[in-house]
Structure 1
Amino acid sequence: MPPWSGHHLRERLGGEFDDAAWDSALQVNLKAVFHLVRFLRPLLEAAAVTGDPARVVNIGSVDGLHVPSAEIYSYAASKAAMHHLTGHLAGRLAPRVAVNAIALGPFESDMLQESLAAEIGLGSPMRRPGGLDDLAGIIQFLGSRGSAYLTGTVIPFDGGLSITR
């Protein structure tokens, strides 16, 4: 099963969650982000123009912004670390590359089935889970000239869920 599947989302204290699953969350959510940016840095810097940097948009989670109630220790910790890495990379790569992250809330995905996304989304001020059009809109903004002065930011993109916790 892939490391991002629901199988790895519930981690129990007391030994039921193995080290391989913990390492997998860090590999996918943190280490891969770092190495991909490092690998692409020459291309990113070459694509930048004065006043309009190249962009990196990391996909984080609201579970990396606060301590979640669910037992998702490695997932939440890896997303929090990725949010921190976003700021670190932003400071190092500016002004040629802008690095930001989106902290997603409930969106239907391979990791969060439709019924659970809907249930969580109903508890948000927007009263629904996010959809593909929502995600396309924020990605379009972060890739546009309108975001050229934005870097090192983690944007909660969760229908207001993070303000209710």
Structure 2
Amino acid sequence: WGEPIATYPDQAFEKVMNLNLKRVFSLTQALLPLLAAAATVPHPASIINIGSVDGIHIPTQETYAYSASKAALHQMTRVMAGHLGERHITCNAIAPGPFESKMMAQTLRDFGDQIVGNVPLGRIGQPEDVAATAIYLASRAGAYTTGAVIPVDGGTLVKAKH
């Protein structure tokens, strides 16, 4: 939800925070007994939250609630990791950059070439890019990773300024 700060509706802010943060917390609470029952030392249970690079950097659009909700989700992920590790539950977040999605459709139509120009790998992300990261985090390969926020953004966060 992008809107200038002077006219940003309170109701929209609450809606975005509820969806992107509160509901993730509530779902985690509900699933915690199942996660704990499945978790072992060599094969921990995995919580994988979906954040955004907009929770890491300052976005160009005025997406106050979205950016704040994703930054808060990243921090909540780290807090959960710190407390759930002793129960053999890992908690990590994936922070996608520009991907084709319903939410990004109009932005990509209007600014797609400009966005791709700011991605060092020269393309928009594909579903397989996030899926592969989730597979890593949920597999034995990622069993010793917890509290991480992994950008999957084609390098947009580290793009050199020329």
TM normalised by structure 1 equals 0.89
Aligned-pair Cα RMSD in Å: 1.4
User: Do structure 1's residue 12 and structure 2's residue 7 form an aligned pair?
Assistant: no
User: Do structure 1's residue 82 and structure 2's residue 77 form an aligned pair?
Assistant: no
- Please list every run of at least 4 consecutive aligned residues from structure 1 whose deviation after the TM superposition is greater than 2 angstroms: 114-119
Q: Structure 2 CA distance, aligned partners of 1:121 and 1:102?
A: 20
**Aligned match of 1:93:** 84
CA offset at residue 117 of structure 1? 5.2
Q: Which runs of 5+ in 1 are unaligned?
A: 1-8
1:117/1:155 CA distance change after superposition, 3 Å: farther
- Tell me if the contact between 2:49 and 2:93 (Cα under 8 Å) persists in the aligned partners: yes
Q: 1:144 aligned to 139, 142, 146, which one? A: 139
1:41/1:117 CA distance change after superposition, 3 Å: farther
Alignment size in residue pairs:
156
- Tell me if the contact between 2:97 and 2:153 (Cα under 8 Å) persists in the aligned partners: yes
As a proportion of its length, which structure holds more helix?
Answer: 2
Moved more, 60-69 or 108-117: 108-117
Q: 1:63 aligned to 54, 59, 62, which one? A: 54
TM normalised by structure 2 equals 0.91
How far does the alpha carbon of each residue in 1:20-55 deviate from its partner, in whole angstroms, 9 at most, with x for none? 100011001110111111111110011111222100
Q: Structure 2 CA distance, aligned partners of 1:91 and 1:142?
A: 16
Q: 1:104 aligned to 81, 96, 103, which one? A: 96
1:118/1:30 CA distance change after superposition, 3 Å: farther
Q: Structure 1 CA distance, aligned partners of 2:127 and 2:113?
A: 14
User: Do structure 1's residue 163 and structure 2's residue 158 form an aligned pair?
Assistant: yes
Q: Structure 2 CA distance, aligned partners of 1:145 and 1:155?
A: 17
Q: Which runs of 5+ in 2 are unaligned?
A: none
